[in-house]
Amino acid sequence: MLSRRGFRRYEEWSRWAMVTGLGWVIAMVFTLTLYFYLSRILPPVLALIPALYAGGVAVTVSQTTILRRGTRRSNWLWVGGLGWGLAILAATPMLRFLGPVFGWVAGGLVGGLVFGWSQSYGLWQRERLLFEWTGLTILGWILAFAIGSTLARDLGVETSQLGPVEVAAAASLGWGFISLLGFALYLLVFSAFSRGESDLTSGWRD
């Protein structure tokens, strides 16, 4: 059975999935809205930059809610915003040209690595959290691309037709499902605690 520390980590990462997915849904709204309005007055390439940056900041702000005081640096927001935009740009050609499965895995691997690694520079406890944070970010990106791309294809949109903004929107749909999964896992953990520590103490080994 899980130790007390392992149980707490399980709870923390289920909350991470929940708030990160919610942040992606908010990021989709910000990115699409900004790109829609800015592309009216700016060339599409220039409109894309602040739109993606705003989306990255939205995701990073949502994750702030689960980081304890002193865990993040003052550069947490800007490295997250920049990293998210670069990650979307890096993942887009892989989803477009590698097709299903390979595109999901390659896009998620590269996108998650870029975003997770860049965010790690905003963490005080970088050495302790680097591999765990980046690894779970990569896993989340792969799942989000798989779910989002599948939904896009069901709607008649092939991944070969997706640009960076559409890739971000598709992945946000996938992260929305991940958020629901994180919420379900969090409820399982909460219900276990609500039964009382006395029922679980025999299985906890600190």
Both tokens of residue 35? 């790109």
Q: Report the distance separating Cα 49 and Cα 53, nearest Å.
A: 6
Q: Please report how many Cα atoms fall inside a 13 Å half-sphere around the Cα of residue 106, on the Cβ side.
A: 15
Instruction: Output the pLDDT for position 130.
Output: 72
Q: What is the pTM of this model?
A: 0.81
Is the alpha carbon torsion for 29, 42, 57, 111 positive or negative? positive
Q: Which residue has the tokens 């050495």?
A: 127
Instruction: Output the pLDDT for position 90.
Output: 92
**pLDDT tens, N- to C-terminus, the chain (206 residues):** 445 565 566 667 777 888 888 888 898 888 889 988 998 898 888 988 999 999 999 998 888 887 765 566 778 888 889 999 999 999 988 888 887 778 888 888 999 999 988 888 877 666 566 777 888 889 889 988 888 878 777 666 666 667 888 888 888 888 888 888 777 777 776 665 555 544 443 443 44
3-state secondary structure the chain: CCCHHHHHHHHHHHHHHHHHHHHHHHHHHHHHHHHHHHCCCCCHHHHHHHHHHHHHHHHHHHHHCCCCCCCECCCHHHHHHHHHHHHHHHHHHHHHHHCCCHHHHHHHHHHHHHHHHHHHCCECCHHHHHHHHHHHHHHHHHHHHHHHHHHHHHCCCCHHHCCHHHHHHHHHHHHHHHHHHHHHHHHHHHHHHHCCHHHCHHHCCC
